[in-house]
Homo-oligomer: A and B are copies of this chain.
């Protein structure tokens, strides 16, 4: 077994400066820019931790681990165009720093690169790794489409919201740990259980993201608090609040979210107060804990000794109790 820190160092080493440069430079510079920004590198870490837990040499899972990280960053590049997002990880998005054509084509190229890395596995593992990755990539696209649909939909029910975040976020987390399992030669049953672990963890992770956007600590969260509130994003908090609110509270909520000329700081402050008065922060936290518990239940089913599970257990805990 290897420590989380040891595996994270390995991942950092796999993204050295200049690694993704090439010609034409106009194509590869935005790719290098994106991939050198870092981010949490959670997804490749999950691949390696899962492989390690199942007794595989994490080195054999390094290529698909890099592949999923490139894929994740590709989706961010294209999402940022669609959302017209100016900032990502405290820096200008590719779409903003260059233009949308650059972001489209560099993104497409990253998608190819993701496949190149994912394909660098032994031929025996290739079919199942690719089946998992293809299925995931398709679902992530579908999730992004639902997310865009929600923007213009008057009503979004919570079931649809959960389906959307499952597709857009959770299946990729699930894919990561399953690919790690495949690379380690885990049984089909164990691979299925670790997938379910990842899926539930991914749901908790996304809900934590929704919660932090409103109730995180600005100094730790690394981005402005309330971004989702200002842009009227239909997060779990938003949808749950509209479900629970009535009377004057519902009226005020509607007013705050639909009024065009409103001071953003006032809007954030007041909506957070309403969320708290409705207990939305507590409810969200409870659902996060529920998904976390479900994830851990699946981890407990896995047929490796308890000590081997320590790394994934620790990371899962950090992912949903994070402040950033």
Give chain A's interface residues, CB within 8 Å of chain B.
23-24, 26-27, 78, 81-82, 100-101, 104-105, 107-109, 111-113, 115-116, 119, 123, 126-127, 130-131, 134, 137-138, 141-142, 144-146, 148-149
Contacts and interface: CB of A to CB of B under 8 A. Distances in A.
A52 B127 CA distance: 25
B109 A141 contact: yes
A78 B134 contact: no
A112 B134 contact: yes
Given A130-B119, A148-B105, A142 B111 contact: no
A104 to B, nearest CB: 6
B100 A112 contact: no
Nearest to A139: B112
Contacts of A107: 108
A101 B115 contact: no
A111 B137 CA distance: 10
A323 to B, nearest CB: 32
A32 B186 CA distance: 38
- Give the secondary structure class of A's interface: helix
Contacts of A24: 142, 145-146, 149
A27 B145 contact: yes
A301 B273 CA distance: 78
B138 A113 contact: yes
A207 to B, nearest CB: 22
Contacts of A81: 100-101, 104
A282 to B, nearest CB: 32
A137 B112 contact: yes
Given A78-B105, A81-B104, 7 more contacts: A24-B149, A105-B144, A108-B141, A112-B138, A119-B134, A123-B127, A126-B127
Given A78-B104, A78-B108, A123-B126, A115 B134 contact: yes
27 contacts: A24-B142, A24-B149, A26-B145, A26-B149, A27-B141, A27-B145, A78-B104, A81-B101, A82-B104, A100-B100, A101-B148, A105-B141, A105-B148, A107-B108, A109-B138, A109-B141, A111-B111, A112-B137, A112-B138, A112-B141, A115-B115, A115-B134, A115-B137, A123-B126, A126-B126, A126-B130, A130-B130
Contact of A101 (B82, B108, B109, B134): B82
Which of A100, A119, A146 has the most C-beta atoms of chain B within 10 angstroms of its own C-beta?
Answer: A119
